[in-house]
Amino acid sequence: MQFGLIGGVLGHSYSCEIHAAIADYEYELRELKPEEVHPFIEKREFRGINVTIPYKQTVMPFLDEISETAMAIGAVNTIVNRDGRLYGYNTDFFGMTAMLEKHGVELKGKKALVLGTGGTSKTANAVADSLGAAEILTVSRTKTEKTVTYEEALSLHTDAEIIINTTPVGMFPHGCGRPVDISLFPDLSGVADAIYNPLRTNLVLDALERGIPACGGLYMLSAQGVKASALFRDIPCDASLVEKAFTQVENGKKNIVLIGMPTSGKTSVGTLVAEKTGRAFYDTDDITREIVGMPIHEYIRENGEAEFRKKEKEAVAKAAEYSGAVIATGGGAVLDKDNVRALKRNGTLVFLNRPLEKLQAAGDRPLSDDYGKLVKMYETRLPVYMKAADIVIDGDITVSEAADTVIKEMKL
């Protein structure tokens, strides 16, 4: 290995893509068991590596020199091999600082809660202190001299103004989780989550829905990667590469989710967008059909709409876990707020706003099999689509024009 990443479980990692956007070298992922860490480090068969959960503290005794920043934080996430001597650094400090500043999460003079006690938690504490936080409390499941419990946080510290999550709660493949309910913190003015997969965790979405500045960890990952790459190659850090790496990886990982009325062209447009961008295409109606084992209109007629919506919800949850895909949804999928939330974790919702007069009632669609039902459905659903959408596309154009517009709006 020349350059790479070591950690416990790395299936969720975007580090290869980050480093590919930064420089022209091979970057490998190496999952290690706890007993394999020391032998791996001792062999010194690498030029530079990043270190992630749960080994940011484990590696420290095996290094020859550790930077003042990493030593003060008590965690190393970057190791450079210089002529057989191992130097440890903490580029997460640079990354988290850049992330907070980029997204307007201001800590100066504020009370902050740092959730978790691992290496990233130590970094978050150091960053919060450097940015002038008035008070910093570390929240843990276990009470210690240096931490408060989640129960104490919810009973004694609901005046917190900043929350920084460094736990894996909400991380793929368990994206439904959230470490705390931010509605219990009325003074909250900023939220940051070190998790980058999904792109927006429930914690981040909760904050954004309340108009609170919030960010996921991809910008932090991008920034620390740029800093680490400079250390690997012993060159000055080019901060301008952070935006490039972040944008390139975010665009590559973000799903394009098409929403809209039945017969608005979601499947046709989505298929063409996928072809033009080289992305995989999924249709939640197709996934639902696989789940129920029969055509959807037959299932609805036999079991009712309510039962269909339950199965559709399973299909949406499955589709929402993809990344870098194009997803066409059923016309009523966004009526369920949980579906919208799931799709937004990794996706941008694009509403194909086709005029009512261009839509068609169809016999194989029992919920809109005559024009009267279609009109009522349109009037009911239009405000739902508009509220859920991140981007609205004029649907009164050709499929090719609509696909090109989606690609342009997504900056692909």
Would you state the pLDDT for residue 370? 81
**CATH 3.40.50.10860 location in the chain:** 3-90
For the record, the structure tokens of 96 come out as: 């988290």
Q: Which of 73, 79, 111 is nearest to 93 (CA)?
A: 73
Structural fold of domain 3-90: Rossmann fold (3.40.50)
**CATH 3.40.50.720 location in the chain:** 94-219
pLDDT, average across residues 137-166: 96
pLDDT, average across residues 334-360: 95
- Catalytic residue numbers read 56
pLDDT, average across residues 131-137: 98
pLDDT at residue 392 is higher than 70: yes
pTM of the model: 0.90
**CATH 3.40.50.300 location in the chain:** 254-409
Would you state the pLDDT for residue 12? 85
Would you state the pLDDT for residue 175? 85
pLDDT, average across residues 242-265: 96
Architecture of domain 94-219: 3-Layer(aba) Sandwich (3.40)
Would you state the pLDDT for residue 373? 85
pLDDT at residue 187 is higher than 80: yes
Would you state the pLDDT for residue 205? 97
- CATH, domain range 254-409: 3.40.50.300
pLDDT at residue 265 is higher than 90: yes
**What's the pLDDT band for 250 if we cut at 50, 70, 90?**
very high
Q: Which of 324, 321, 205, 340 is nearest to 256 (CA)?
A: 324
Share of the chain above pLDDT 70, in %: 99
pLDDT at residue 364 is higher than 90: no
**What's the pLDDT band for 367 if we cut at 50, 70, 90?**
confident
Would you state the pLDDT for residue 372? 86
Number of H helices, E strands in the chain: 16, 17
Identify the helix (H) or strand (E) that includes residue 221. helix 218-233
pLDDT, average across residues 155-173: 96
Would you state the pLDDT for residue 363? 65
Measured CA to CA in angstroms, residue 21 lies from 2, 165, 276 at distances of 17, 26, 22
Taking all residues of the chain, what is their mean pLDDT, rounded to a whole number? Answer: 95
C-alpha–C-alpha distance, residues 289 and 254, integer Å:
25
pLDDT at residue 161 is higher than 80: yes
Query: What secondary structure does DSSP assign to 246-279, as a single string?
Result: HHHHHHHH-EEEEE-STTSSHHHHHHHHHHHHT-
278-328 pLDDT tens trace = 999 999 999 999 999 999 989 999 999 999 999 999 999 999 999 999 999
Would you state the pLDDT for residue 39? 97
